[in-house]
Chain A
Amino acid sequence: MSQIFYSKDHEWIAMGTDGLVTVGITDHAQQALGDIVFVELPEPGRSVAKGEACAVVESVKAASDVYAPLSGTVTEVNRSIVDAPAKVNAEAEGDGWFFRLRLQDPASLTELMDRAAYDEFLGTLA
């Protein structure tokens, strides 16, 4: 069973058995963005630094960056959300994932929050 972590930029990061992590935006993030109409994803092979803007989501009203939650290399992106951006609203924490990363340092996962810590963090935003 994969373990899931969360960032303060409202991303989820799931550690897979293949050593790669899958990154998406949280349900809280998709709700805050509203109806998503366009997604731009990074090119596979791109190296990203933690905190670097590497994807874009556009809702009816506004554009938002999606940041790399940790440093690493993009190995794969989810083309299905480019074709059907509403999937991010419908399944943010599942089939609406954004990209997979090979982490530069797998130990960096400890910099992220677990679900309880993320929920607590969400509580501080209200």
Chain B
Amino acid sequence: MAKTPLDALHRRLGARIVEFAGYEMPLQYQGIMAEHQACRTKVALFDVSHMGQAEIAEIAAFSRLVPGEIAGLKPGRQRYTMLLNEMGGILDDLMVANLGSHVQVVLNASRKEADVVHMRSHGVAVTTRFDRALLALQGPKAAETLPEAAALKFMDAAPMQIGGIDCIVTRSGYTGEDGFEIGCAGFDGETLAELLLARGAIPAGLGARDSLRLEAGLCLYGNDIDETTNPVAAGLGFALSKKRLAQGHFLGAAAVNKALAEGTAEILVGIRLEGRVPARAGAEIRLSGGEAVGRVTSGVFSPTLNAPIALGYVRSDCAKLGATLELIVRDKPLAGHVTPLPFVPHNYVR
């Protein structure tokens, strides 16, 4: 099992450790609920060093693997995009930042090795930096905790020094809150984390990261999207460039264009449940008459809303906002309805 450069710190802080994507990762320190609320109201620090940082010098070949307008990304800016296969399925979703001399990508831990094989097989020269640390500082007090980066706007990216440590900072995250993702050399990771904790950040684990991202309506690779998912079905149309769709010069373009033109059989929806019982991934979704129309892909009890919420795929004709659905938990139907995403408003600084 792999460990991140912050492993010793997690253990010192009393984290409960779980396996995630081949890594020993902190699930929680003091508790998911408290860590979740710390991120929504103050500032939380997550170790996300399991994610794969990599550098790509030549944008043209990489651009042929993603549906976003990456070639037009200005220096100092970051964008969300996806690696697609020929069928238009999502091989991974990732952040791309233009750092001037090269672009940096941040890949999902479970996909990073496969992503590199895929990119190299399509002629993209990738330099992996998987030994680097990546910290996410998230919450309304993130900017006052990291004044060095306060001049950045949402989705800006810049190299800078923090406490004498060379870092690459982006103003982005996976919680719906304002915040930063900070990459540095692995051997500097613990020092950087200690610095941010000393400034008042509260350590938070993967448990809170999951409940936060779900409230923010953000997909988790492997749960809500995978290589069989078309970006159109997953509600990721915002990451598709009209110009690049028209040109069609990327892997999967035909399938994405077809999905845009004809629609998809299923689409991802947010579901708010009545009562207090969460429906978890795998729960069947039915119409009130009993007809099966989909399945839950992520479900959690939302600490902010004090109610269960879920993401799931339903037959496209059952996805209207407000539509009533039944989610089957322990053989019993739970009432829910289709709700706009995000469940909890984003709080980005643009």
Contacts and interface: CB of A to CB of B under 8 A. Distances in A.
A61 B276 contact: no
A37 B31 contact: no
Interface in B285-336: 300-301, 303, 330
A31 to B, nearest CB: 9
Contacts of A122: none
Interface in B225-280: 276-278, 280
A125 interface: no
A63 B280 contact: yes
Given A34-B32, A35-B33, A60 B207 contact: yes
A118 interface: no
Contact of A61 (B32, B277, B330): B32
A40 B332 CA distance: 13
Interface in B160-217: 207, 210-211
Nearest to A39: B276
A60 to B, nearest CB: 5
Interface residues of A, number: 13
Interface string A33-69: 0110110100000000000000010111111000000
A56 B330 CA distance: 10
B85 interface: no
Contacts of B303: 35, 60
Contacts of A38: 276-278, 301
A116 to B, nearest CB: 25
Consensus secondary structure, chain B interface: mixed
B36 interface: yes
Contacts of A34: 28, 31-33, 207
A60 B280 contact: no
Interface in B78-102: none
Given A34-B207, A38-B301, A59 B32 contact: yes
Nearest to A85: B276
Given A60-B207, A60-B301, A61-B300, A35 B280 contact: no
Contact of B31 (A35, A40, A56, A62): A35
Contact of B300 (A40, A56, A60, A85): A60
Contacts of A37: 276, 278, 301
A60 B276 CA distance: 11
A58 B278 contact: yes
A62 B207 CA distance: 10
A58 B277 contact: yes
Given A35-B32, A38-B301, A60 B277 contact: no
B14 to A, nearest CB: 11
Given A37-B276, A37-B301, A38-B277, A60 B32 contact: yes
Contact of B280 (A40, A62, A85): A62
Interface of B: 28, 31-34, 36, 207, 210-211, 276-278, 280, 300-301, 303, 330
- The 9 A-B pairs of least Cβ separation, nearest first, read A35-B33, A37-B301, A38-B276, A60-B32, A60-B301, A61-B207, A34-B32, A38-B277, A35-B31
Interface of A: 34-35, 37-38, 40, 56, 58-63, 85
